[in-house]
Amino acid sequence: MSLTKADDYGEGLAALASKRCGVPLVISHANEASVEALMDRLSRAPRNTVLRTLRDTEEKVMRAANRVGLIWINAPKSAVGRFELTC
């Protein structure tokens, strides 16, 4: 999960959901991580990893995700009242 800034409440909810579902969670903050660092992390992600974006994302990041076969969802993490995990 990549956030534009620290969000203790949102990060806490994501951590609880991740633990409950047994899904690994990585949280990064856009102001602390470079695009290159994100692309490097994506290149090492397992094939079934879902990359969820909530805003426009640089094309080179999307190309890096596509190159390793990640699933990209460009939508909010809440749909029809259910909470979905983000990666």
Give the pLDDT of residue 47.
Answer: 74
Compute the distance between CA of residue 60 and CA of residue 36 in angstroms, rounded to an integer.
9
Closest listed residue to residue 60, CA positions, set 81, 39, 40: 39
Q: Quick: pLDDT tens for 48-86.
A: 777 777 666 778 778 888 888 888 777 665 555 555 555
Residue with the bigger pLDDT between 2 and 18: it is 18
End-to-end CA distance of the chain: 5
Domain range for 64: 2-83
Which whole number is the average pLDDT over 4-25? 83
Which stretches within the chain are classed as H helix?
8-21, 35-43, 59-67
Compute the distance between CA of residue 57 and CA of residue 4 in angstroms, rounded to an integer.
12
* Distance, C-alpha 16 to centroid of its chain: 16
Q: How many separate domains does the chain show?
A: 1
Q: Quick: pLDDT tens for 29-42.
A: 766 667 778 778 87
